[in-house]
Amino acid sequence: MANSKPHAIVIPYPYQGHITPMINLCLNLASKNLIITFIPLEFNHHSISKAHNLHADEDIFTGARNAGLDIRYAPVSDGFPVDFDRDGNDVDRNYTDYWKTMFLDFPGRVDGLVAGIVASSGDSPPSIMITDTFFSWVATPICEKYGLLNVSLWTQPATVFAINYHFDLLRQNAHFPPQHGKGEEGIINYIPGVGSMRPRDLMSYVQYPDMIPMLTEIEVKSFDHVKQADFILYNTVEELESDTLSALNQILPSFPIGPINFYDASLARSLRPHTDCTEWLSSKPPSSVLYISFGSINFIADKEEVAEFAYGLLMSKVYFIWVIKDDNIHDQEKKFLPSDFKDGMGNRGLVVPWCDQGGVLASPATGGFLTHCGWNSVLESMWHGVPMICYPFLVDQPTNRKLVVDDWKIGVNLCDGGRVTREEVAEKIDVVMKGNSALRMKCEVEKVRKKLQDSLGGEGSSHKNLDLFCEGLKLRL
Ligand code: UDP
């Protein structure tokens, strides 16, 4: 190599839950002396810049660059207007058509950009490409063409990676496509390294492939390609999923390096502006506030369901912060929340369009998290020792719920299928936040919190795995 510093081109998947860990990975690797060229999608670049009031000559890494890290920044267009609603309510138009076009078009766009980076990088040409696993279909042809090491970052639990990797076993055992009736009863106990689970613990695109067929298509395409990767990085912790990770390590060089959610909280990562809840939270007693968020994508089903949440919250009498995502919270409130909710909640609650979730979970006032079980939310909740009430909707969330409730015992199910009722909402809030059950759960989540925090310490598994990965990279260059 002409230059002793390895140079990695990095492409995050364009959703909040994927962007945050990828940005943090870049900061980590740059501080270990790698050159990084970060390639966000242009619309993500615009959202982050707007949310954080960045100047035209600034990007998310300006501060890191000023501190001496070599992180370059080269947004790429996906060919759609910046303000096109890529995950709007019309799934066929907004989501499916978008990804169909991406499959056809995006690898060529990235290829053009990479050619330019190769031509202009002088004595430090890129030798590595790190993509989100859901972009491994972009990585494979480009890594082959330019002779780059192919590194894949998986931002969900290793358990979900293993199931996706062994999709052929789901097919052979009639769990995919699901044979409803028969499929519901059959236990899944044949995925190497993964303990027994029920069909309802599988990812939504396995259980209901017809709901949003594009989800299954993206997963299958990504896992066809990820088999070509040279290294897999996982945003999980060895101690939490050790059997699964050792089984995966037999097949692909696997490095659990999580949680990679907590690198210098002051840096810009959020696609939306935060509402500051600090002052409100600091006025509340310890463990008295329930935090409610269903993640970065629109999952709330309908007005009736929201009403059950709203009345359940009022019945429970706890303090709460509820994230209802919309650029115009007032319209959203009019559309979704019952008209008497605002009076009922008085000063007991905050309804906000987006907040600094890490900051809210870190507050001693926060005592529970009603979550959709997105993996980042689960990691952040565990990191701060906050027990969960689980209400999964889509993708990996049903499987994450199984880990949280059945395996690690740090959360409860909000309901067992069907529609949620206000009584269940109030009852589960009590279980997680009041009395002996709350103490027991706090004790369990404390054990997991320690595992996570230890993993990043000097002798911790994730800390060591990141070093091993960097050594492995150097040996292959
Ligand atoms: N998040 C946030 N503010 C909010 C709600 C969510 O910063 O008001 C962040 C949260 O901290 C997490 C991410 O958005 O890192 C959501 O990722 P997750 O994997 O939990 O769910 P997804 O959005 O991918 O379904």
pLDDT of residue 2: 47
Evaluate: CB of 381 within 6 angstroms of ligand 1: no
Kindly give the number of the ligand 1 atom that is closest to the alpha carbon of 394: 25
Q: Domain check: are 219 and 354 in the same one?
A: no
pLDDT of residue 328: 42
At 237, the pLDDT band (50, 70, 90 cuts) reads: very high
Centroid of ligand 1 to alpha carbon of 16 (angstroms): 6
Kindly give the number of the ligand 1 atom that is closest to the alpha carbon of 361: 11
pLDDT of residue 417: 73
Kindly give the number of the ligand 1 atom that is closest to the alpha carbon of 323: 8
At 180, the pLDDT band (50, 70, 90 cuts) reads: low
* Tokens read off for 278: 């600090």
For residue range 259-295, list pLDDT tens digits in order: 998 877 777 788 898 999 999 999 999 999 999 999 9
Give the dihedral of Cα atoms 109, 114, 115, 116; nearest 10 deg.
Answer: 100
pLDDT of residue 1: 45
Q: Domain check: are 308 and 349 in the same one?
A: yes
Question: Which whole number is the average pLDDT over 142-146?
Answer: 98
Question: Which whole number is the average pLDDT over 226-247?
Answer: 98
Evaluate: CB of 392 within 6 angstroms of ligand 1: no
Assigned domain for 406 exists: yes
Q: Domain check: are 231 and 295 in the same one?
A: no
Kindly give the number of the ligand 1 atom that is closest to the alpha carbon of 371: 20
Centroid of ligand 1 to alpha carbon of 296 (angstroms): 5
Q: Domain check: are 161 and 127 in the same one?
A: yes
Name residue, tokens 């600091």.
282
Mutate to test the pocket of ligand 1, among 52, 160, 296, 322 (most ligand atoms within 8 A of CB): 296
User: Mean pLDDT, the chain, as a whole number?
Assistant: 93
Evaluate: CB of 323 within 6 angstroms of ligand 1: yes
Evaluate: CB of 297 within 6 angstroms of ligand 1: yes
Centroid of ligand 1 to alpha carbon of 17 (angstroms): 6
pLDDT of residue 268: 79
Q: Domain check: are 175 and 306 in the same one?
A: no
Question: Which whole number is the average pLDDT over 40-47?
Answer: 97
Centroid of ligand 1 to alpha carbon of 33 (angstroms): 29
Evaluate: CB of 15 within 6 angstroms of ligand 1: yes
Mutate to test the pocket of ligand 1, among 13, 15, 16, 294 (most ligand atoms within 8 A of CB): 16
Assigned domain for 268 exists: no
Q: Domain check: are 258 and 282 in the same one?
A: no
Please name the residues in contact with 282: beta carbons below 8 A apart, sequence gap of 6 or more.
363, 365
Instruction: State how far the alpha carbon of 348 is from the alpha carbons of 143, 313, 314, 322, 424, in Å.
Output: 54, 10, 9, 11, 20
Assigned domain for 287 exists: yes
Centroid of ligand 1 to alpha carbon of 476 (angstroms): 35
Evaluate: CB of 355 within 6 angstroms of ligand 1: yes
Total structural domains within the chain: 2
* % of the chain surpassing 90 pLDDT: 84
Evaluate: CB of 296 within 6 angstroms of ligand 1: yes
Q: Domain check: are 246 and 288 in the same one?
A: no
Closest CA to 51 of 10, 80, 16: 16
Q: Domain check: are 51 and 195 in the same one?
A: yes
Evaluate: CB of 354 within 6 angstroms of ligand 1: yes
Ligand 1, atom 18, residue with closest C-alpha = 374
Q: Domain check: are 28 and 78 in the same one?
A: yes
For residue range 338-389, list pLDDT tens digits in order: 989 989 999 999 999 999 999 999 999 999 999 999 999 999 999 999 999 9
Assigned domain for 187 exists: yes
pLDDT of residue 474: 93
Assigned domain for 272 exists: no
Ligand 1, atom 24, residue with closest C-alpha = 17
Assigned domain for 270 exists: no
Contact 10, 37 (CB under 8 A): yes
Assigned domain for 373 exists: yes
Centroid of ligand 1 to alpha carbon of 169 (angstroms): 31
**Does 327 score more than 60 pLDDT?**
no
Q: Domain check: are 214 and 77 in the same one?
A: yes
Q: Domain check: are 188 and 314 in the same one?
A: no
Ligand 1, atom 6, residue with closest C-alpha = 295
* % of the chain surpassing 70 pLDDT: 95
Domain of 303 in residue numbering reads as: 278-453
Q: Domain check: are 448 and 462 in the same one?
A: no
Evaluate: CB of 377 within 6 angstroms of ligand 1: yes
Assigned domain for 269 exists: no
Kindly give the number of the ligand 1 atom that is closest to the alpha carbon of 155: 19
Whole-prediction pTM value? Answer: 0.96
Ligand 1, atom 13, residue with closest C-alpha = 17
Centroid of ligand 1 to alpha carbon of 120 (angstroms): 36
In Å, the largest CA–CA distance within the chain is 68
**d(Cα 9, Cα 35) in Å, to the nearest integer?**
9
Residue 237 belongs to a domain with what CATH number?
3.40.50.2000
For residue range 52-92, list pLDDT tens digits in order: 999 999 999 999 999 999 999 999 999 999 999 887 767 76
Ligand 1, atom 2, residue with closest C-alpha = 357
Question: Which whole number is the average pLDDT over 179-189?
Answer: 73
Ligand 1, atom 5, residue with closest C-alpha = 295
